[in-house]
Structure 1
Amino acid sequence: MKKSGILLILLFVALFVVSQVFFTVHQTQYAIVLQLGKPVGGTLSPGLHMKKPLIQTVEFFDKRIQDYDMQPTEVLTSDKKNLVVDSYFKWRITDPLQFYRTVRTIPSARARLDDVIYSELREALGRHTLTEIVAEERGAIMEHITTEASDLVAQYGIELLDVRIKRTELPPQNEQAIFNRMRAERERQAKQYRSEGREEAAKIRSSAEKDRAVIVADARRESDAIRGEGEAEAIKLYAQALEQGPEFYAFQRSLTAYRKSIGNNTRLLLTPENEFLRYFE
């Protein structure tokens, strides 16, 4: 029993010593050895390595590309337009020793990168108009920001790979102002269209009235001509009738006069010798 206990203790001590002396660096990692908080040696390559137990520790860093989503920020363009920009950037550690000496941890590195890129973003976007940022020169602006920020963060052992804008929006107050301006513009266009429509309607109405007047005048002239021809024909017929039978014509005219002048309750004060009564004799 004593020998088994001693063996277990020795095995435990051996495992502890091995865990304190040997360590493995993965392919996706950088590793540096720290002695009393200070780097010792250079960057370790992937594989199995040794360190002094108790007085030395190992710091691991991810060598893969990392991305960081920045908080949306409001910038002022060169044409005095406020713009809310939502962006992100990709970066990676290239010099672990320099990285540890300057920023030490990933959160600190992200904070430093955020400050640098935000400053470059505001400065670069402030030199361009809203249209250039949104459509015309967006790619060139992002490349310029990436280049400028890369030079600034290289001192931290960091390589900045890309800076991109995910989305651009207008501030809420600007959106309302633009909406009001668009509505006013649409109302102005609607009034213009209504005015042009009324003007066109007046022209059409005036043209129709003119055509109507011409048609009515032509119809009246033709009617007067036909009426005149009819009256002339009637006069001609009356004249022919008078020539053929003057006495009969006079008799017919008298009957017509009697029919029109004598009616119910009609009283005529005439002498018996009156010409009007000669056919009553």
Structure 2
Amino acid sequence: MNQKTLIGGAIGVVVAAVLLFSTLFTVHQTEQMLVVQFGKPVRVISQPGLHAKIPFIQNTISFDRRLLDYEGPGEEVILGDQRRLIVDTFTRFRISDPLEYYQTVGFGEAAIRARLSSIVPSALRRVLGNEPLLSVLSADRTRIMTAIRDQVNREAQRFGIEIEDVRIRRTDLPEENTQAILSRMQTERERVAREARAEGAEVAARIRAGAERERTVILAEAQAQADIIRGSGEQEAIRIFAEAFQRDPQFFAFWRSLQAYREAFGEDGRAMVILTPDSDFFRFFKELPQDVRAAEAR
């Protein structure tokens, strides 16, 4: 009797433990629960703590209440100025209405990411289709990302989620556009280099012309000054020469003849001059001037 009682008591404890375990559940601060009965939603529990449900009839589905992220692949979009860009985005969202989320999407996160893979690119193309490239690459990007987030949020609310942020992570040109732009940039740099070289050559030619003109002026002034000095010297030499000639014409004539003899016969005395004996060139060989005779007599 005692053994049956113990067995029955043990079974009762086990059944009570199973009933208690099936009835009570804990909601953590990072999650929210949806209680369903035979697959039909009954209530949403957002407050953390210990809660109860009908055992074996009701089940719980947990949804993360933290920020979730979605990173989409690069999308090629056409901007308002008909430029093409490859744009990468990432989206931050949270489940705001577990009931609506369960009814429209289900209980997995893969399904909502599949929905966002079409919603985000559509909003991205609509917004960027009205913006030029300069706005996308400038401080206007914040305004553009806000507009994209608002459009995505309006479409995502019907799935029970709230879009916290949509960010443009990276913008690239398509490969064919990149090569074309690089080619244009190279052509432009070459044009600028040619202009710089042409301007440099023009400045160099102008500097050389100025230097040559200044050189010519300096040489002309120096030549003029030299001519003036030379003329003054020659004038002074002529004056001295004339003054000496006036003092003693016969000696001066004799001295000039000696200079002529030196130039005619040369330094070595081997020069040959053919003249008649009575030529006036040799008159000082025939007779000496009176002053020379007087000097010899003294």
* Cα shift readout 1:201-259 (whole Å, capped 9, x = no counterpart): 11111111111112222222222222222222222222222221111011001100000
- Look up the match of 1:151: 154
- Residue 127 (str. 1) matches residue 130 (str. 2): yes
**Structure 1 residue 200: Cα displacement:** 0.9
- Look up the match of 1:66: 68
- Look up the match of 1:231: 234
Moved more, 179-188 or 111-120: 179-188
- Look up the match of 1:272: 277
- Look up the match of 1:27: 29
In structure 2, give the amino acid aligned to 1:27. Answer: Q
In structure 2, give the amino acid aligned to 1:246. Answer: P
Instruction: Say if 2:70 and 2:90, in contact at 8 Å, map to a contact too.
Output: yes
The whole-number CA distance in structure 2 between the counterparts of 1:56 and 1:218 is 117
Q: How does 1:210-225 map to 2 (within 5 A)?
A: 210-225=213-228
* Cα shift readout 1:96-147 (whole Å, capped 9, x = no counterpart): 1111110012211122123212210111011101111121421222222222
The whole-number CA distance in structure 1 between the counterparts of 2:213 and 2:165 is 74
- Look up the match of 2:294: none
Change (3 A) 1:249 1:45: closer
- TM-score, structure 1 length as denominator? 0.89
Query: How well do the aligned residues superpose, as a CA RMSD in angstroms?
Result: 2.3
- Residue 14 (str. 1) matches residue 35 (str. 2): no
The whole-number CA distance in structure 1 between the counterparts of 2:231 and 2:211 is 30
- TM-score, structure 2 length as denominator? 0.85
Change (3 A) 1:177 1:5: farther
The whole-number CA distance in structure 2 between the counterparts of 1:45 and 1:182 is 58
SS at match of 1:167: strand
- Look up the match of 1:43: 44
SS at match of 1:109: helix
Q: How does 1:176-195 map to 2 (within 5 A)?
A: 176-195=179-198
SS at match of 1:113: helix
The whole-number CA distance in structure 2 between the counterparts of 1:26 and 1:268 is 139
The whole-number CA distance in structure 2 between the counterparts of 1:33 and 1:230 is 128
Moved more, 142-151 or 45-54: 45-54
**Structure 1 residue 2: Cα displacement:** 5.8
The whole-number CA distance in structure 1 between the counterparts of 2:237 and 2:50 is 137
* Cα shift readout 1:70-116 (whole Å, capped 9, x = no counterpart): 22322221122222222222212222111111001221112212321
The whole-number CA distance in structure 1 between the counterparts of 2:181 and 2:99 is 52
Given candidates 249, 253, 258, the residue that maps to 2:261 is 258
- Look up the match of 2:88: 86
Instruction: Say if 2:36 and 2:43, in contact at 8 Å, map to a contact too.
Output: no
Moved more, 255-264 or 173-182: 173-182
The whole-number CA distance in structure 2 between the counterparts of 1:33 and 1:176 is 57
Moved more, 117-126 or 250-259: 117-126
Q: Gaps spanning 5+ residues in structure 2: where? A: 287-298
Given candidates 165, 170, 184, the residue that maps to 1:167 is 170
**Structure 1 residue 5: Cα displacement:** 6.0
Q: Gaps spanning 5+ residues in structure 1: where? A: none
* Cα shift readout 1:151-197 (whole Å, capped 9, x = no counterpart): 21111111222212223233344333333322222221111111111
The structure with the larger Rg is 2
Query: Percent identity of the aligned residues?
Result: 43
The whole-number CA distance in structure 1 between the counterparts of 2:185 and 2:46 is 62
In structure 1, give the amino acid aligned to 2:112. Answer: A
In structure 1, give the amino acid aligned to 2:285. Answer: F
In structure 2, give the amino acid aligned to 1:106. Answer: E
Change (3 A) 1:54 1:224: same
The whole-number CA distance in structure 1 between the counterparts of 2:46 and 2:209 is 95
Q: How does 1:87-126 map to 2 (within 5 A)?
A: 87-104=89-106, 105-126=108-129
